[in-house]
Amino acid sequence: DAGVTQSPTHLIKTRGQQVTLRCSPKSGHDTVSWYQQALGQGPQFIFQYYEEEERQRGNFPDRFSGHQFPNYSSELNVNALLLGDSALYLCASSYEVGLAGGADTQYFGPGTRLTVL
């Protein structure tokens, strides 16, 4: 049973460029969330996708966008990169239990380390 996978593992970009990160959820999961983890900090929620739509978003600018595909995999896109976007980007998947059903556990991938020069 494959866990959450992310690609690429590492990425180096320069300011102003655009980047796309990819995530495949754990088998049986239909919800994907993205988190940004700066060095020495806890992960910060970026957004969550369910049924191919963004249904919740954290405090991140519109430069951060995403997509979910019919097979539940997801992409995170960041435009006009800033030095401050350098971080570990974590993808987490879970199984939607519905608003009345509680919160299912999120399982994380190994992350993509983005360095912006």
Q: Report the phi/psi class of residue 111: left, alpha or beta, with left for phi > 0 and alpha for psi in -120 to 50.
A: left
Instruction: Decide: is 68 part of the binding site for another protein (CB under 8 A).
Output: no
Per DSSP, what are the bridge partners of residue 89?
36, 112
Distance of closest approach, residue 16 Cβ to another protein, in angstroms? 26
Instruction: Decide: is 113 part of the binding site for another protein (CB under 8 A).
Output: yes
Which span (16-24, 68-76, 79-87, 97-105) binds another protein, by CB under 8 A? 97-105
- Say if residue 31 is exposed, middle or buried (CB neighbours under 10 Å; 0-12, 13-18, 19+): buried
Instruction: Decide: is 44 part of the binding site for another protein (CB under 8 A).
Output: yes
Instruction: Decide: is 60 part of the binding site for another protein (CB under 8 A).
Output: no
The structure tokens 């009345």 sit at 100
Closer CB to another protein, 20 or 110, in the complex: 110
Among 1, 70, 84, 99, binds another protein (CB under 8 A): 99
Q: Report the phi/psi class of residue 70: left, alpha or beta, with left for phi > 0 and alpha for psi in -120 to 50.
A: alpha
- Under DSSP, the state recorded for 95 is -
Please report, as ranges, the residues that interact with another protein according to CB under 8 A: 31, 33, 35, 40-45, 48, 55-56, 58, 88, 90, 92, 94, 97-111, 113
